[in-house]
Structure 1
Amino acid sequence: MASGNAIRGSRVGAGPMGEAERGDTAPRVWITFYCCNGHETRPSFASDAAIPENWDCPRCGFPAGPDRDNPPAPPRTEPYKTHLAYVRERRSNEDGEAILAEALAKLRGEV
């Protein structure tokens, strides 16, 4: 059994919690942001801070804006491309056939 003289629920240097100890908080303003899924977010900002145009929705991750009727559109995500897809963007089929023929000729020792 633990000794009976331990003070539970406190730490070294802990004191009374309150505004008097920490000082006054900065004046705040709460701005409501809306995402395309209808989620509502109300972050607070310092009253003299610049308010951003968009805010990331903490529920779905889509961008949110201050206008409920016109929220920002979700970002367009492009599907994953393989290495072969990038090569096909740069080369035509004829170029690919020529490179393949040259590589096979080297392997066979014809060059």
Structure 2
Amino acid sequence: MAGGNAIRGTRVGAGPMGESERGESAPRETISYWCANGHESRPSFALDAEKPDSWDCPRCGLPGGRDKEAPPAAPRTEPYKTHLAYVKERRSDADGEAILAEALAKLRKQREGLS
């Protein structure tokens, strides 16, 4: 076992890195964004940076806007569609009947060859 008073996980000379080592930070501006649930997010941006019109709320995930009285509406989510629902969008009932008849005829022909 190593003896000594060293604090584990540190090095000699290690300390908090401050502005003297990193340089000065850019001047910042805090912008408020409100979501439809009334949550306020306050991210900060550099003064010369382009500020986005919307910001996702870290609490509920809804988009937030700068106008507290009129926040953006929650995005509409599409319900889950099954494979059959997508097929029905592309094909009419008559097309489905024709494809089914073709597949059944093919199966009957294969079975006749096995008998």
TM-score normalised to the size of structure 1?
A: 0.89
What residue in structure 1 maps to residue 54 of structure 2?
54
Which of structure 1's runs of 4+ aligned residues deviate more than 4 A? none
**Which runs of 5 or more residues in structure 2 are unaligned?**
111-115
What residue in structure 2 maps to residue 27 of structure 1?
27
Change (3 A) 1:74 1:11: farther
Distance in 2 separating the partners of 1:42 and 1:80: 34
**Mapping of residues 38-53 of structure 1, within 5 Å:** 38-53=38-53
Q: Give the letter for the 2:77 counterpart.
A: T
Q: Shift of the alpha carbon at 1:5?
A: 4.3
TM-score normalised to the size of structure 2?
A: 0.86
Q: Which whole-Å deviations, capped at 9, do the CAs of 1:47-83 have from their partners, x for residues lacking one?
A: 0000000001111111000000000011110001111
Q: Shift of the alpha carbon at 1:21?
A: 2.2
> Higher helix share goes to which structure?
2
**Which runs of 5 or more residues in structure 1 are unaligned?**
none
SS of corresponding position for 1:87 = helix
SS of corresponding position for 1:25 = coil
**Mapping of residues 1-111 of structure 1, within 5 Å:** 2-8=2-8, 10-11=10-11, 14-109=14-109
Q: Shift of the alpha carbon at 1:105?
A: 0.5
What residue in structure 1 maps to residue 113 of structure 2?
none
